[in-house]
Structure 1
Amino acid sequence: MNSSCSSSSSPRLFVTKWPVYRAPLSSFSAPKRRRSRPRPRRRRASDHGGDGSLLSLSTSSSEDQSLSLVLDVHRISTLASSRFHWLLDSGRDAFSDLQSLVSLDDNRRLVVSCRKSTMQFIGGLVVTGFVFVFAVRALVNLGSLFRSSFESKPKLVVRRDRSLGGREVVVAVETSRAPSRDTRSSMPSSGHVSRRNTSPSSFSLRAQQKLPKWWPTSLTSQSWDVDKEDYQREANRLVRAMVDDRISGKDIMEDDIIRLRRLCRIAGIQVSIEPANTRDSFYRTSVDFVLNVCSRASSESTAVEIDSEDARDFIAGLSENVELEKTDAARMVSATVAARTRSWFLQAWALEIQGKHSESVAELSKICVVHRIFPPDESSAEMEMVARGLEKLMKLEERQTLLKKFIGICCSEDSHRSAAEALGLVH
């Protein structure tokens, strides 16, 4: 009874179940939105001035609104020290790891293993080594550059290349230490030693005086009252014909060379031969023609004329007519004279061996005439090159025999000297 009374007196809880509303299924499901990641907050200039930073930038609150840049040196030293200790610790760890790089497992298999930090340490060490070596080399090169700028200029060893028309080329560089007086006095006065000890100042001076002594200082110009335009057209027509013959494989005629020089000399005109190789080839052919004319003269001849003009004036004036530099033209003439000298000496000795003494004398006479009209300079590079070539082909006694015969038929002392240089008999 008490239980029934207690149950009737306690409150009752009624739970009502309402139907749950569900949205109809759609064939197009809406995509799920991704939560946007919080963007990193950009630091302002005032944020860099916090405590513990290496570099701080602050703005004064005064009217000037000035900026101050503060560099914490103590912080830098502390950071460098910590980085150094970290590097040492990483090195010790890498070394201990490399000691157990290769091991054997229980199944007798060879195992090679190392940590990732060890590989990173080794890679960083290699890269740092390359950077260090590159920096040291850069500093050494920079130091040598500054050192060479303060030192005196080196000496140049100059030689003439006959394949380049006798043009001077630098073949070596010597130290700037000057020889003593005793050494200079003991040096022989040959051209070989003087060129080896040539300083840059003397080299520049010699570069300005490349014209040989036989080159005429001034050419006599004939002031003829002629129509220059007609002569110019005729000269241009003659040049075109010679260039066409050259392209077709025909040789340049000697009469055309004389005719071109005559037209240019009478009217005082110049012609342009293009390209430059064709012009140089034309001038070399003209030099060969002049030397052939000179070689046909007698050994007593002191001057040879071509078309009522001296041979030296003819070849020098022709270089101006075809717009060729004087120095280049002089080198071509000197190189051709050297080549002819070598060929005539060899031919003279070959005829001497065969017993043809008169023909051998005729070959030596050609050298005498050409060296009298176009005398090589003393201790010239061209004669030195001729001497080196003949020393390889002829013995000393043979060259001495040729020199004696040459002196017997030629009375010019300058020709004696040039012939002795060509035979390599100058001491």
Structure 2
Amino acid sequence: MNMTSCSSSSSSSFPRLFAAKSQIYKAPVLSFSTPKRRRPRPRRNRKSNGSSYDHTDGNLLSISTSSPSGADDQSLSLTLDVHRISTLANYRFQLFLDSSKDAFSDLQTLISLDDNRRVVVSCKKSTMQFVGGVVILGFVFGFAIRVLVKLGSALKGNFQSNPKFVVRRDRSLGGKEVVVSVDNIRSSSRDSKSFIASDQASRSNSTPRNLHLKAQNNLPKWWPTSLTSQSFDVVDKEDYQREANRIVRAIVDNRTSGKDITDDDIIQLRRVCRISGVQVTFEPKNTGDSFYRTSIDFVLNACSRAPWESSSVEICSEDAREFIAGLAENIGLAKIDAARMVSAAVAARTRSWFLQAWALEIQGKHSESVAELSKICLIHRIFPPNEYSAEMEMVARGLEKLMKLEERQSLLKTFVGMCCSEDSQRSAAEALGLVHW
């Protein structure tokens, strides 16, 4: 307080160094009035030839806009300093190399033993960061490469004009692949290319298609041309029809309950249908197919137990070939489907008996091996496979993987010495893959 008054009182005696600031009167602000704010104006660099705006990002990338004098549109220019980028990249790469060297030298001493013979695992924090970064970059690069490969294959598929063949394996041809349809990748030219593709497919696969048509239209030679059946009057036929339906219902019920089809069911159904000429239907259809396959096994078992010198085998006073063919007609199974099932079963038995014969031959049981080969001779005599059949070709492919050439030649030599049928010798050679031996 004293200093203030002293200074004010002596202000007249000292020279005035600063001018007193004049106070400006301000009107009081009312409660309902607000002061006006001034909007900041953007700063512009005005030049004689126009205006421009520059923005740089670390001296690597510069973006500038300029508008020449007298022009309404502005021009945008982007400047990229390649020299600075390469310098920065070299610096980063050198830093990465130095980090890798440090990490490698640190990892060499990762595991050590202290004075107390304890295992100590220690590493620097920078080493852990380097290793983690390398692992993450590896995953990122791997994922990027997979994405690029998939993207490239998708683009290649979109721009590729070759048709795509849909291939399926045909059991009637022994598992050979057959073109069933053509699927074009380009949808814009689907109609025009489908015709070309189908034409190419038919030309390139002419042999399998011909074999397929031959397998469908031709029955094996052993299939009987006509079946003998006795016919009674209408009253007796209705009684037999009811009896046949009862047998079918019993078979279906046994299958539903998990019981197998017996030989008596097969013989009884065939006897009733052969005497009266009636037909039955299995529901569902796969039950009928299963019944027929079981019947084929029953017939082949009966044939294998017969003397191998026999030219024919009878089942219930009926030839085995007529029995199995007539049974297919009785249950409403197509002839070609039934013949295909029989051929497949004969091929399976042929493969099994050849393997069993060679196993007995290795054990020194020559007589038992000859007995197994005699079954093949008898089955091929009763149900001879077609020449160059697909079933025997599949048997040959399987035996070539399991037996050596010398072993198969030894079996064929023994088979030819005990089987006099030329057709059986030919089919056995096909099954062993020794057609040109």
- State the TM-score, normalizing by the size of structure 2: 0.57
Sequence identity percentage: 70
Does structure 1 conserve the Cα–Cα contact (< 8 Å) formed by 2:229 and 2:276? no
Structure 2 SS opposite 1:212: coil
Which of residues 318, 343, 348 in structure 1 aligns to 2:352? 343
Cα separation, partners in 2 of 1:177 and 1:170, compared to 1, 3 Å: closer
Deviation at 1:246, TM superposition (A): 1.4
Which of residues 228, 233, 236 in structure 2 aligns to 1:220? 228
Deviation at 1:171, TM superposition (A): 5.5
1:333 equivalent to 2:342? Answer yes
Number of residue pairs the alignment of both structures matches: 279
Deviation at 1:400, TM superposition (A): 0.7
Q: AA paired with 2:328?
A: S
Deviation at 1:108, TM superposition (A): 6.8
1:376 equivalent to 2:328? Answer no
Cα separation, partners in 2 of 1:388 and 1:401, compared to 1, 3 Å: same
- Aligned residue for 1:308? 317
Q: Which whole-Å CA distance do the structure 1 matches of 2:167 and 2:429 have between them?
A: 24
Q: Which whole-Å CA distance do the structure 2 matches of 1:355 and 1:204 have between them?
A: 43
- Aligned residue for 1:272? 281
Does structure 2 conserve the Cα–Cα contact (< 8 Å) formed by 1:157 and 1:174? no
- Aligned residue for 1:238? 247
Runs of 4+ with >6 A deviation: 107-115, 156-159, 176-179
Q: Which whole-Å CA distance do the structure 2 matches of 1:391 and 1:174 have between them?
A: 36
Cα separation, partners in 2 of 1:166 and 1:288, compared to 1, 3 Å: farther
Q: AA paired with 1:373?
A: I
Matches within 5 A, 1:23-422: 104=56, 160-161=170-171, 170=178, 198=207, 200=209, 202-203=210-211, 205-225=213-233, 227-422=236-431
Does structure 2 conserve the Cα–Cα contact (< 8 Å) formed by 1:167 and 1:331? no
Structure 2 SS opposite 1:241: helix
Tell me: higher relative CO, structure 1 or 2? Use CA pairs within 8 A at least 6 residues apart: 1
Q: Which whole-Å CA distance do the structure 2 matches of 1:247 and 1:158 have between them?
A: 32
Does structure 1 conserve the Cα–Cα contact (< 8 Å) formed by 2:179 and 2:201? no
Q: AA paired with 2:398?
A: G
Deviation at 1:198, TM superposition (A): 1.6
Deviation at 1:204, TM superposition (A): 6.8
Does structure 2 conserve the Cα–Cα contact (< 8 Å) formed by 1:160 and 1:381? no
Does structure 1 conserve the Cα–Cα contact (< 8 Å) formed by 2:347 and 2:395? yes
Q: AA paired with 1:210?
A: N
Q: Which whole-Å CA distance do the structure 2 matches of 1:393 and 1:356 have between them?
A: 20
Q: AA paired with 2:358?
A: W
Q: Which whole-Å CA distance do the structure 2 matches of 1:320 and 1:208 have between them?
A: 17
Q: Which whole-Å CA distance do the structure 2 matches of 1:177 and 1:270 have between them?
A: 40
Q: Deviations over 1:171-198 (max 9, x none)?
A: 699958989xxxxxxxxxxxxxxxx762
Deviation at 1:168, TM superposition (A): 7.0
Does structure 2 conserve the Cα–Cα contact (< 8 Å) formed by 1:161 and 1:169? no
Unpaired runs of 5+ residues, structure 2, are 1-53, 66-72, 77-154, 181-197
Deviation at 1:199, TM superposition (A): 7.3
Q: Deviations over 1:327-380 (max 9, x none)?
A: 110100000000000000000000111111111111111101100000000000
